[in-house]
Amino acid sequence: MNLEFGIRLPVSGPFAGIENILRVAQQAEILGYDSVWVHDHIIWSSESHRKHVASGSVEAVTDSQEPVFLEALTSLSYLAALTTKVKLGTAVLILPSRNPIIVAKEIANIDVLSRGRMILGVGVGGRSSTRGQLETLGVPLRARGGLTDEYIHAMRELWASPVSSFQGKYVKFTDIEMFPKPIQNTGPPIWIGGTSRAAVTRAARLGDGWIPDLLSPSETIEKSILLRDMMTQFGRGNKKFVLASDIYTSIAAKPEEARKTASETILTRLHGRGSFQELEPKFLVGSPDELITKIGEYADAGVTHFDLKFIYPSVDKLVQMMELFSDQVAPSFR
């Protein structure tokens, strides 16, 4: 069993900043992690800053903080120059928010600058979390699925062909020459985010991988069976494909400490969806031995790559968790 582990960087939340994303990315590389990940919003409110914590913890959020959200692709471009081995991923880029021709250019450029380390995770954006952003940018909420599908086709055409043309409902261009092409053959892998049936269908039809969140191992098995059935229906049953997991994580030598660190952030993020005990099966929370067992369950469900969203009250604490995980958990899966 050879699993890959990545680290979610603090591009938003109480610790968002240049020094912290660089420190965490370089420490991830030193510790042997396989990837570092950013998430994506262009518009981010103070309320979202308080309640939708994807890096850090709610205990570290204060009323005086600005809702900082570092832009995803320029952040990865910066890190491409200051790392050498870790893959650089988006989990996920809200694709309908962006012009696909510009995104294709940016992603190709990052792939070149990183010497082929880019993973492009994309999604349509959640109704509640992205409605305001999409409306502000003039993107019809109901069209975001169709836009995402078409944008993927258009970007791949731009990456693959010396002279590119595309005629769709939302995107049209003729005889475009766009260079440099990505280093990775046919372009960086595109992993599809989301857990809805539409997202699973998109992953099966268009993706090189699927990176859902908020799924337990048993739910992952159920969805992955549907995914594989769909891939067969689309004539892609033999395609090389990555099943990943975008997952909240908290580790400590004493499991009660890990649960205490994680509970308030998870309950705030998933308010109204159940108690911490009910939600815990969807996360990696506990001692090293508990995480080894839980990761094994995800691996049995087919997961091979983890975007670890550690929950932490300080960046020093994050680094300690990263060290503990790399020392006592990751070796069991190498």
**3-23 mean pLDDT:** 98
With bands split at pLDDT 50, 70 and 90, how would you rate the model's confidence at 70? very high
User: Which domains are seen in the chain, by residue range?
Assistant: 4-333 (3.20.20.30)
**204-229 mean pLDDT:** 98
- Give the bridge partners for 251, in sequence order: 286
Does 241 score more than 80 pLDDT? yes
Instruction: For residue 89, give the nearest of 305, 294, 269, 299 by alpha carbon.
Output: 305
Predicted pLDDT at 332 = 98
Using the CB atoms, write b or e for 26-53: b if 16+ within 10 Å.
bbbbebebbbbbbbbbeebeeebbbebb
With bands split at pLDDT 50, 70 and 90, how would you rate the model's confidence at 128? confident
First CA to last CA across the chain, in angstroms? 7
Q: Give the 3-state secondary structure of 249-315.
A: EEECCCHHHHHHHHHHHHHHHCCCCCCHHHHHHHCEEECHHHHHHHHHHHHHCCCCEEEEEEECCCH
Predicted pLDDT at 102 = 98
**14-27 mean pLDDT:** 98
For the chain, give the longest Cα–Cα distance. Answer: 61
pLDDT tens profile 44-65 = 999 999 999 999 999 999 999 9
Does 1 score more than 80 pLDDT? no
Predicted pLDDT at 127 = 84
**225-242 mean pLDDT:** 97
